Structure 1
């Protein structure tokens, strides 16, 4: 019997339709796995509330930040401490959702300084977060304002390229830069092999957050005496593409341009930031030019693996006015030091940092984080007394396992790992013949008179654990083991004596113990005891005859601290308070041997007693206006417990270069109309300039103001214009002090770096979502 072809076609079409419908139904019912992470440090976020905006059905992410949804659609994600986000989820097997921290609820966010999932309010040490909101309160060219609002931190600024950061009095004795404080950009060390740290050259627009660990409380970052500054880059965001551009102009010829590009898909994201900054400077011989290029990419290549690439390049040329004597500071603060002006001294450098990080999740209770990195720096610095040429290359590796388990039915989080770092610094000095040429010629390179090659390396082995004894009590135990060595090769043929040599410091084992107790749901008490150390630089180990001082020892000390943090008055008032004591021995002192030349010696002990208090209060929080205030206060009582330098006994004197107190108060305002602004008052107390305490700097007060207007011009276009005034009342002050300066050839000592008088900046910021 012959089949009817029409019926056959109809049956085939019906079968095909049923098949397609069935496939579509099955596909639409396919569960989509979603993982929610902190947008800055990529820590999984548990207990995130997820709302289906169509059905109004709620669900929550599990302890690993994961959940599944049966249907596509629009969803809202909410978690205390983070900004809520609405996302349209389409068909996909696996989706990553990133949430950004809410600066007004920092106690609820996770800190990433030890890569263990820990709320800030449960931390056992003094950790303070500088959010992007804090950074944007001031101008976008100098990090000084943001850091000096952090209790216990003091940043002195001689120029945009000359700064010194101290934490709890550690680092104040370094004369021209920051030392004894470790810094990391994401997971890449910024501290060189000789212990010097430079963060001021990084573009502020590329930083979304800083976590500052005060004191020797970071086992996994080398147990530095001063602490650790952990910079978090502005991450590339998934599932969005936007372009931002900013132009800033201001006093003293300031002009800065910035371009910020982000592109992200479901699993890959890319961010590139370029900036170009120019300033003529307030003082003579103070011109500054800097270009930066920063790339940050994220790649979630599977549900268990993600890669992160970070690249930072900086090209800098900055002239150096140097310090001046008291008479010039009072009567002619714009002047540069005479010899530096005649030599037209400057710093010309190119530097780069490259890092690749791999995050692998073995299973829900174990993952591995591994980073490889390399960096370079080339610099040429003509100075009145010589010309310094340097070429530094570094590489290293950090890797650790991070896990959690149940111990007596309670959570135990742990990490164990190591870091290896090695850098090679080739440097040499040339004669500066500027005095042999007509005035205005500037520096002229002469014959080479030194040629060195330094190899500096260290490795840290570390272990840290957080154990929840109860839901309210957390105990932390950490241990760091360090091995540091230097090797110096004197390659100058006519060197006498030859300064070649090697030095291995005694291995250091630094323990840490801390405990945190939740008194209420929103208030915690914590206490910790920790050990730290800071090795001298190779230059500090050299004696006047050029030989290595094998008797010199690293500075070591113990930190004792008790504190409290939390919120009261229905979360309107957030507070952070700490009392600490540090006892440092084998104090390293820079003894001057010639103009701008020093050697290091161990000269005694110091005792650092301090009080730190910060308050943030929400005065008004309505749909129309948001008004809040902040107060921070630091009281320093730092003294030489025992300090004998040659024949001089300074025991009992105040520690040089540290203000007695620092006070900040300010108000922020944001309105629904788009108008925003802030005003900040800062008081810096007097500080001893000499170890003998015979000379003190004057206390000073600074008031800064910034106002702006932000408006949504179109659905995807946002415009932000702003105007700021720094040092409104034109206060004369020393923005940095050169401690224990000496006069040579009958000249007066040059102690002072004058700060900027009243100055202005304004800008326009445009953001476009593609």
Structure 2
């Protein structure tokens, strides 16, 4: 790698940097003898299955992204923060266009998020059609993410990949403040956000406003998003609480389109050019225009010390427009749903147990209107369809804790999914209904405290994911009633260690997931997508996470704190019994999944609130088609951020910061178009870029 004409070995560079930090911490930190000034590290707690519990007791493999991690990463998106979690990969084909995968294939996600269930606080962000508008959210409105890896459908409904629980601003805060942040950077990027948090007695209010724009690295990759979010909490009696969540998002981003290998090597900034009768991305003004309003109300009633009831109602409306190369699509989507459960629990000196039982019901109605795209304007009608998706499941979750050492969880759900559809044009087709068979999704899991600081865990769970609305009715405009759900069994085990002083955290787990009838994306000669069921996959994986405070945070010395982190992912994922027409892909590497990913970082704290953060991301080569005849090259990403917190403008506290991404100026594609027709796989990511900003907190 070359920086300013000098050659560097990336691994050696990072090794020397971290080694130097270790030596520095030893010479400057431990020589001091002021233990009373060292800040106590808090125990990490989570809430994956209704109740708060220490992370070390969790029966599942959980990735936690807290506010400190979010603050250290670039604030323009969640991509860098999410990719710090082993087993998770988030991609950005162009600014605003996200894809997310937990332990598996991106084949189902030409854009967006599928086969993963997402909740925003108490409310499902994933609609009944299986789609999650994750890119509607602004990163500034999020304070924490919990990523439950592997199938957890027993209490969260159908999913074959995992569950993401997003905690919005204001959920945990109980202080009064106003924070204003502004940031600018390379390629015309700018973002600002304002957060207001007020606690008045038993009433809490958090309001987040954000605006973001970027010209993008590539031609025709501009984006902008206007965002507003409000969370209100009212403990209106001793045992009753009401919560209201609302957000509005107005998102637009252009889609430059995929490039062939030759185009990518010659001019990676290029948008997709015209080819033959097919117009280019700029000519067709290809892009996404999406306006979403979402609201939810939740009520929590603690009926007695042992018994409580929670009920949530929620609704959303999305106005979606997508001028594309071959057509212009308009969608109007309305969702309405309810989630409720009761909990009963008892505890003695040696045994604690509780049971949760409930249901979730949702319906999403979608109007699809497709037209010819006449240079960014809708023209002649191609197809008009109405599709209503319904998602209903009942669940039960039982846990018993024996002697505060052995935690056993038994849970399951009965899932009923279906849809009805009608075609209005070009030929009228009367409404038809299609319901999938009821699917039972059990989960058995346990964790055992081998020592007070070491736990072992194991689980067996079933994954199940029906085809989404956009797979049943893909961009080829065919209602595919033959597409079947994917399903499979997941087996995993792991060990977790947290040192007595909470300085060292280590988590290692292995899993095997045998997925059947895997849903795979295809493109036809007109670039229209459609989906088929592949034979299945065999997914062996290993994930490890380690975080160590080499020097705990303290109030004296030149080096005030040093934390090192590393996350490693090994994905040995293969197709199993997969034949497409005359092609046999059995035994091939799973498309879109790198075999190895290593994310390492160093967080250095200095006097006067100065901090330095460095991170290295190694991603191995990625198969781009099922035949494994095309690969994206491996890459190394290095990013850094430096900031100064304890500044003041008069009496107003101010933080300033500056950062850089892709310091090694790597050429890489962060979001490949898999199985792309004509070999248009590549969406080039930004070259070396910089940003800087200021945060004022009142």
Give yes or no for TM over 0.5. yes
**Given that residues 669 and 678 in structure 1 are in contact (C-alpha distance below 8 angstroms), is that contact kept between their aligned partners in structure 2?**
yes
Residue equivalent to 1:59: none
- Which has the higher Rg, Structure 1 or Structure 2? 1
**Given that residues 399 and 409 in structure 2 are in contact (C-alpha distance below 8 angstroms), is that contact kept between their aligned partners in structure 1?**
yes
Asked if 1:455 is matched to 2:388, the reply is yes
Asked if 1:411 is matched to 2:411, the reply is no
Instruction: Indicate which of 332, 336, 347 corresponds to 2:288.
Output: 347
Taking structure 1 as the reference length, the TM-score comes to 0.82
| d(CA) in 1 for partners of 2:152, 2:331 | 33
| d(CA) in 2 for partners of 1:237, 1:461 | 29
Residue equivalent to 2:209: 274
Instruction: Indicate which of 251, 255, 269 corresponds to 2:186.
Output: 251
SS in 2 for 1:681: strand
**Deviation for aligned residue 1:542:** 5.8
SS in 2 for 1:617: strand
Residue equivalent to 2:235: 300
Q: Deviations over 1:123-161 (max 9, x none)?
A: 111111110111111111111101111000011210122
**Given that residues 237 and 262 in structure 1 are in contact (C-alpha distance below 8 angstroms), is that contact kept between their aligned partners in structure 2?**
no
Gaps of 5+ in 1: 1-82, 85-101, 435-442, 744-748
SS in 1 for 2:630: coil
Residue equivalent to 2:22: none
Residue equivalent to 2:266: 331
Change beyond 3 A, Cα 1:596–1:407: farther
| d(CA) in 1 for partners of 2:171, 2:212 | 23
SS in 1 for 2:632: coil
Asked if 1:665 is matched to 2:600, the reply is yes
The equivalences for 1:532-547 within 5 A come to 532-541=463-472
Asked if 1:464 is matched to 2:394, the reply is no
Residue equivalent to 2:427: 495
| d(CA) in 2 for partners of 1:578, 1:759 | 35
Residue equivalent to 1:766: 696
| d(CA) in 2 for partners of 1:445, 1:172 | 29
**Deviation for aligned residue 1:352:** 1.2
| d(CA) in 2 for partners of 1:544, 1:226 | 24
| d(CA) in 2 for partners of 1:115, 1:721 | 38
Asked if 1:118 is matched to 2:53, the reply is yes
Change beyond 3 A, Cα 1:639–1:164: same
The equivalences for 1:368-517 within 5 A come to 368-406=309-347, 410-434=351-375, 443-492=376-425, 494-495=426-427, 498=429, 500-517=431-448
**Given that residues 236 and 263 in structure 1 are in contact (C-alpha distance below 8 angstroms), is that contact kept between their aligned partners in structure 2?**
no
Residue equivalent to 2:490: 559
**Given that residues 423 and 457 in structure 1 are in contact (C-alpha distance below 8 angstroms), is that contact kept between their aligned partners in structure 2?**
yes
SS in 2 for 1:713: strand
Q: Which moved more, 1:201-210 or 1:720-729?
A: 201-210
| d(CA) in 2 for partners of 1:256, 1:192 | 28
**Deviation for aligned residue 1:238:** 7.2
SS in 2 for 1:232: strand
Q: Which moved more, 1:508-517 or 1:537-546?
A: 537-546
| d(CA) in 1 for partners of 2:61, 2:623 | 27
| d(CA) in 1 for partners of 2:241, 2:329 | 42
Which one has more relative contact order, counting CA pairs under 8 Å at least 6 apart? 2
Residue equivalent to 1:235: 170
| d(CA) in 2 for partners of 1:602, 1:297 | 44
Change beyond 3 A, Cα 1:236–1:187: closer
The equivalences for 1:180-219 within 5 A come to 180-219=115-154
Asked if 1:359 is matched to 2:300, the reply is yes
Instruction: Indicate which of 586, 589, 592 corresponds to 1:654.
Output: 589
Instruction: Indicate which of 138, 153, 161 corresponds to 1:226.
Output: 161
Taking structure 2 as the reference length, the TM-score comes to 0.90
Change beyond 3 A, Cα 1:545–1:255: closer
**Deviation for aligned residue 1:499:** 7.6
SS in 2 for 1:519: strand
**Given that residues 116 and 402 in structure 1 are in contact (C-alpha distance below 8 angstroms), is that contact kept between their aligned partners in structure 2?**
no
**Deviation for aligned residue 1:324:** 1.0
**Deviation for aligned residue 1:420:** 0.5
Gaps of 5+ in 2: 1-37, 274-279
Residue equivalent to 1:526: 457
| d(CA) in 1 for partners of 2:669, 2:476 | 35
Q: Deviations over 1:381-413 (max 9, x none)?
A: 211211111110101001011221148951002
Change beyond 3 A, Cα 1:170–1:225: farther
| d(CA) in 1 for partners of 2:477, 2:147 | 37
Change beyond 3 A, Cα 1:539–1:211: closer
Asked if 1:683 is matched to 2:618, the reply is yes
**Deviation for aligned residue 1:517:** 0.4
SS in 2 for 1:337: coil
Change beyond 3 A, Cα 1:346–1:750: same
Q: Deviations over 1:264-297 (max 9, x none)?
A: 1121011111111111111111111110000011
| d(CA) in 2 for partners of 1:641, 1:239 | 51
**Deviation for aligned residue 1:551:** 4.1
| d(CA) in 1 for partners of 2:640, 2:650 | 30
**Deviation for aligned residue 1:543:** 9.9
| d(CA) in 1 for partners of 2:551, 2:475 | 62
**Deviation for aligned residue 1:730:** 0.6
The equivalences for 1:578-657 within 5 A come to 578-621=509-552, 622-624=554-556, 625-657=560-592
Residue equivalent to 1:290: 225
SS in 2 for 1:136: helix
Q: Deviations over 1:15-36 (max 9, x none)?
A: xxxxxxxxxxxxxxxxxxxxxx
SS in 1 for 2:420: strand
Q: Deviations over 1:69-103 (max 9, x none)?
A: xxxxxxxxxxxxxx99xxxxxxxxxxxxxxxxx9x
**Given that residues 212 and 226 in structure 2 are in contact (C-alpha distance below 8 angstroms), is that contact kept between their aligned partners in structure 1?**
yes
| d(CA) in 1 for partners of 2:628, 2:543 | 24
Q: Which moved more, 1:506-515 or 1:544-553?
A: 544-553
Instruction: Indicate which of 610, 634, 643 corresponds to 1:699.
Output: 634
The equivalences for 1:168-179 within 5 A come to 168-179=103-114
SS in 1 for 2:637: strand
Asked if 1:317 is matched to 2:252, the reply is yes
**Given that residues 226 and 249 in structure 2 are in contact (C-alpha distance below 8 angstroms), is that contact kept between their aligned partners in structure 1?**
yes
Q: CA RMSD, aligned part only?
A: 2.1
Residue equivalent to 1:439: none
